Structure 1
Amino acid sequence: MSFAPPTDLAPVVDDMSVYILPGRVKPEREVGRGYTSISRLWDDAADAERLGFRGVFLSERHSLKDAGAVLGGVAARTTRLEVGTGATSARARREIVLAGFGATMQALNGPRLNIGLGRGDALWQGGGLMGFDGFVDYARILRRLWAGETVTYDGPAGSCTNLRMDDQLGDVPPPKLWYFVIGGGPLAAKAAADPVWDGVVLYPFLTHEAVERAIGRIHRECEIQGRDPSTLEISHCITTAPDLDDVETRAICHARLVTYLAWPKFGEAIAKANGWGTDVINKLRNHPQLQSLGAAKPADQAFHRIELLDVAKLIPESYIDETCGVGTAEHCAKQIASFRGLGAQHTILYGSTPSQNGELINIWRDLR
């Protein structure tokens, strides 16, 4: 079964992608302002392709935003978009399950899938974050399965015996593997430089200094390991709110940063990378709305971002100005350019929808 591709597609901007379905979603089709219906997925996908984004990423949630269901639907309804997971937890799926997902997507849709991996998330904290050695081994096992090997393994990633895929990809290329990095510390940089990865994505809400430092470490590790740094695509993820009103801007930027900073250990990692200290983190965690959460769940798993605007008043404006693209679309494009000058080859827009970034991508097309 096939369908006629759209005829109004803008040329692809091959160095810019965008997140779809940002934040927490609702199952209802009709929702109030500030809330997101899962049915908006189809508009996001169509808009991203029409506007010329290279690809889309999904911040997976193990409830209404399952990556297999969402990305399979997006790939089926589009013709050229790359589709990718955003920092899906390596602890969430056994290697054979993720390998099967990746192989099926590639066989159905062609070479369009990017699998983004992170070492853990709140749902899997009971098992702790996966260590760096285990994380790299997990990715290597995926590579071996896609190559048709039978894998027996006992090490930091766990254990398996005679693991194999009965049906092979053949001439179909395997998915690309992307490592999502918070601050790019020495151990993370060493893991990121491993040849198993096609690319690295730097988390949003990092300052210019943090991004420059992370890229420098990763490039140095590539050289130490004998890898040409140019073979590792580095993406910078930036939260954008171009030409949006104050309420929407604060819901996209300030409220989202509430979740990042209030989340135990994650907040400290962001603050350390940026040199922010912990005063704001402590104020957020002591806010009455967040006190009951503890380490059990991030704020955006308990609240929709529009419900976090009061807490978001604790976020200093300087944090947003340093790390996000806000204000006019022209200013956002210049902010992106300033980050790109630090060594990233690709930008992923985060927090806002493809349509909200329509003018921004048009400006970037001419600016780059």
Structure 2
Amino acid sequence: MNRKVKMINWGGLIPSNISFDEMIRIAKRIEQSGFSSFWYPDEKFFRDCYVALTLVAKETSKIRLGPCVTDPFSHHPMQTSVSIGSLAEAAPNRVVLGIGAGGRGLREIGYQMEKPAVAIRESIEIIRKLLAGESVTYSGRTKSIDNLPLDFPTPYKIPIMIGTGHGPFIQRLAGEVADIVLLANLCSTEAIAKGLENVEKGAKKAGRSISSLELIARVDVSVNADRKKAQSAVAPKIISALRSSYPGLEYLGILPDFDIPSRLIQVLQKKDHKTKKFYSDPQNSAPLIPETLYENLAIAGTPSEVALKIREISSSKIFTEITIAVVPQQGESLYQAYDDFIEKVMPLV
């Protein structure tokens, strides 16, 4: 892989469970601090993704922004095209469409999330044509549309980013069809290398080089002078990531040998809201997480430890951006958590 990126660009992934006021404060802070991207999830039961991104677009001037990620199940490609095309008008030359398999909330409202790689591929094919101004007829395995265009023009070509998660099929698909590839929740060099290997296979299938793609590493980050407290704070994120891929945990096989506690498996098997809420409390989730998972599925520790881990990920000069989802510590606001990262970690990277 012949690719060398000269410097780190930063992205911020902001959760949709905070107020719009705090979200806008964070967006302004990270833009002023030189971040390249502001990403916002499209999750069910939380604040609306496109409302949030439009507010951020109007309160910022340079930072690029987009959903990270929307899904191909709860939105028809026409609906996604309308939303992202409208956002592009509100934020000239700054919008990216992030799409992936989807996560929390889909099964609870009746979506089975079948054939995710096929659904993503077919959605992208339709969306690209609609955004290009075409009247689209398409009949696929999961998506269809009959001779319909967008009824308004999009002002520029919108890049499409695939958030890959851990599955090899979507990693390969991203290499094949995406403009931007986001590798999510991978912090070990071995797991990252395997993910990039799959992306490269997809790129070769499409007759292009992986060096033609923008590659982003997305990591959960928890910073505390007490390493154990930093790990505890990020534990619910790790459980959420494991649950979203369960029972497909084969990707953990590349990590150093460790045993998954039987109690953790029992928790991952339960999908009800009561269980999820209980283990969203670090006091309940932290004891379940083996040290190996703390080391490889998140970056948690003191400022110097976090900076060192980020340097390890960026040292290959392959990624054009490191996107961080900062986890606040007990009693800390998310704005304070990002401010701490900017002041205490970034100068050390």
Shorter-normalised TM range: 0.7 to 0.9
Q: State how 1:184-203 maps to structure 2 within 5 Å.
A: 184-185=167-168, 187-195=169-177, 197-203=178-184
Equivalent residue, structure 2, for 1:80: 62
Equivalent residue, structure 1, for 2:131: 146
Instruction: Report deviation, 1:245.
Output: 4.9
The 1:303–1:52 alpha-carbon spacing in structure 2 relative to 1, beyond 3 Å, is: farther
| 2:42 paired with 1:68 | no
Structure 1 distance, partners of 2:46, 2:222, is 24
Instruction: Report deviation, 1:99.
Output: 0.6
Structure 1 distance, partners of 2:320, 2:31, is 20
Determine which of 266, 271, 294 is the counterpart of 1:295: 271
Name the % identity. Answer: 18
Structure 1 distance, partners of 2:228, 2:306, is 18
Structure 2: gaps of 5 or more residues: 1-6, 328-336
Determine which of 105, 111, 125 is the counterpart of 2:93: 111
Instruction: Report deviation, 1:266.
Output: 6.0
Structure 1: gaps of 5 or more residues: 1-12, 26-35
Equivalent residue, structure 1, for 2:334: none
Equivalent residue, structure 1, for 2:295: 321
What one-letter code is carried by the residue in structure 2 that aligns with 1:176? Answer: P
Instruction: Report deviation, 1:75.
Output: 1.0
Alpha-carbon deviations, 1:176-230, whole Å to 9, x = none? 2111112252x223311224x1111111144221111111221233124211211
Equivalent residue, structure 2, for 1:30: none
Q: State how 1:256-275 maps to structure 2 within 5 Å.
A: 256-263=237-244, 265=246, 268=249, 270-272=251-253, 274=255
Contact 1:249–1:326 (CA under 8 A) maintained in structure 2: yes
The 1:129–1:120 alpha-carbon spacing in structure 2 relative to 1, beyond 3 Å, is: farther
Structure 2 distance, partners of 1:79, 1:248, is 36
Alpha-carbon deviations, 1:231-250, whole Å to 9, x = none? 11111111212345568624
What one-letter code is carried by the residue in structure 1 that aligns with 2:142? Answer: A
TM-score normalised according to structure 1 size? 0.80
The 1:249–1:156 alpha-carbon spacing in structure 2 relative to 1, beyond 3 Å, is: same
| 2:160 paired with 1:177 | yes
Structure 1 distance, partners of 2:147, 2:115, is 22
RMSD: 2.8
TM-score normalised according to structure 2 size? 0.84
Contact 2:230–2:302 (CA under 8 A) maintained in structure 1: no
- The DSSP-based 3-state class of the residue aligned with 1:334 is helix
Structure 1 distance, partners of 2:322, 2:304, is 16
Contact 1:260–1:267 (CA under 8 A) maintained in structure 2: no
| 2:193 paired with 1:212 | yes
Alpha-carbon deviations, 1:279-329, whole Å to 9, x = none? 23x42243xxx58x82345965x3583x24222211122321234333333
Structure 1 distance, partners of 2:245, 2:194, is 23
Higher mean Cα deviation, 88-97 or 343-352?
A: 343-352
Determine which of 228, 233, 238 is the counterpart of 2:219: 238
Alpha-carbon deviations, 1:26-62, whole Å to 9, x = none? xxxxxxxxxx555421221121112111111112322
Determine which of 5, 15, 25 is the counterpart of 2:9: 15
Runs in 1 of length 4+ with deviation above 6 angstroms?
Answer: 275-278
Structure 2 distance, partners of 1:259, 1:79, is 33
Equivalent residue, structure 2, for 1:358: 342
What one-letter code is carried by the residue in structure 2 that aligns with 1:78? Answer: T
